[in-house]
Amino acid sequence: METIRAERLKDPSFASSLSKMVINGSIICFPTDTCYALGTNALNEQAVYNIFIIKDRALSKPLPVIVRDIDVAKRFATVNDKAIRLFERFPGISLVLPKRNVPDIVNPSRIMMRIPDSDIVRDLMANIPVPVISTSANRAGDPNPYSMSDVLDSLRAKLPLIHFLIDGGRLGDEPPSTIFDCIEGRVYREGKHSADDVLEVFNASD
């Protein structure tokens, strides 16, 4: 396990090297626009399984993913005009969509996907053309981690399974992302963006 300062992601050469390792199945802990997260290539089933092990998370509980942009989202989910409008109007929103080409271990029937509103994550994802698991970097049931010490306290016994810790310092106690189900047309969780605002945009005429 190696700890890395988040500023190093500004180095294109380093960011490219780290991206290749993530694509190849390395597991990272990184700061997002909400809390610290665990991530790996969502298409690598063994790496995804290791995320479940690290978190002591039941395999029956699906994992969310992040993507770098809408073009990548379209390769791995059915993204219609309504979903595009939500991604564009509500930065960082999580959308539940019909999945495409994503292993069932991630989610057997659909996919929860978002494009994070974070410069650090944009730097990390710039060279990653696949979905990346993004789930809170804590043991299932523990509080969300907003600092590296929170992560270490929660996951200390499983740290050998994490290849890189990206330290972005103490994060603000930001609300979680709003989760909207584009299949059923309903809000699962109200977070940064209000349910009324999201529904208004979703239900607007095309």
Domain locations in the chain? 2-203
Give the per-residue pLDDT at 162.
Answer: 97
Instruction: Classify domain 2-203 at the CATH class level.
Output: alpha beta
Residue range 55-88, pLDDT digits in tens:
999 999 999 999 999 999 999 999 999 999 999 9
**pLDDT score for 174:** 78
pLDDT class of 135 with cuts at 50, 70, 90: very high
Q: What is the mean pLDDT of the chain?
A: 94
| Overall pTM surpassing 0.85 (yes/no) | yes
Task: Say if CB 70 and CB 87 are below 8 A apart.
Answer: yes
Percent of the chain whose pLDDT exceeds 90: 92
How far is residue 103's CA from residue 11's CA, in Å, rounded to a whole number? 32
- For residue 206, name the pLDDT band (cuts at 50, 70, 90): low
